[in-house]
Structure 1
Amino acid sequence: MSRTRSAQPDPRATLHSGLPDRYLTPDDIAEIFGVPLETVYQWRKRRTGPPGFRIGKHVRYDPAEVQTYVRQCKSADRAAA
């Protein structure tokens, strides 16, 4: 009798609230928001985009904080309307 193993998804690719369940890179942020990578770097420099943090020389973004940032943008947009 052969055993068939169910395919387990890669835990790094598991989605949570539409975002990967891992720290995001600036490239990920650019792709998610559909903006050029340079825009992501400008947001960070001006502190206007989602909050990032450094791991050594690398910038990363917490998916939960990115979700919070999006919710705040939506709320501000609705309040302005």
Structure 2
Amino acid sequence: MEDNVPTPELEPEQTQPRAILDGWMTRAELAKELGVCVDTLGRWQTMRIGPPCVRTGRRVFYRRASVIEWLKQKEIRENRISNL
């Protein structure tokens, strides 16, 4: 009996599963999740107001957990301002 084990989907430029990048997102993936333009994330990075990222060559990666923490900090900061 043969088990059907799903294999991870590969991005067009990938030749191996993304196991090493589990928990990390590309700039395009994060932009889609946040509903912002890829250029906006680049601008935020330049202004140092966006989520923390790692640059490897020309690619930029965001750790999902760090993005969630960044969003939480942003929420707290905005709530403090509105309570003044």
TM-score norm. by structure 2 comes to 0.69
Matched residues, number: 73
CA contact (8 A) 2:53 2:61 kept: yes
Letter paired with 1:68: E
List runs of 5+ in structure 2 lacking aligned partners: 9-16
Q: Cα distance, 1:6 vs. partner?
A: 7.0
Residue aligning to 1:74: 75
Q: Percent identity?
A: 28
Deviation at 1:54, TM superposition (A): 1.1
Q: Which residue identity does 2:62 align to in structure 1?
A: Y
RMSD (CA atoms): 2.4
- Structure 1 gap ranges (5+): 13-20
| TM-score, reference length from structure 1 | 0.71
Partners of 2:6 and 2:71 in 1: how far apart? 30
The Cα shift of 1:22 comes to 2.7
Alpha-carbon displacement from aligned partner over 1:16-69 (angstroms, at most 9, x marks no partner):
xxxxx4311110121111111111110111111101111222111111110110
Which residue is equivalent to 1:45?
A: 46
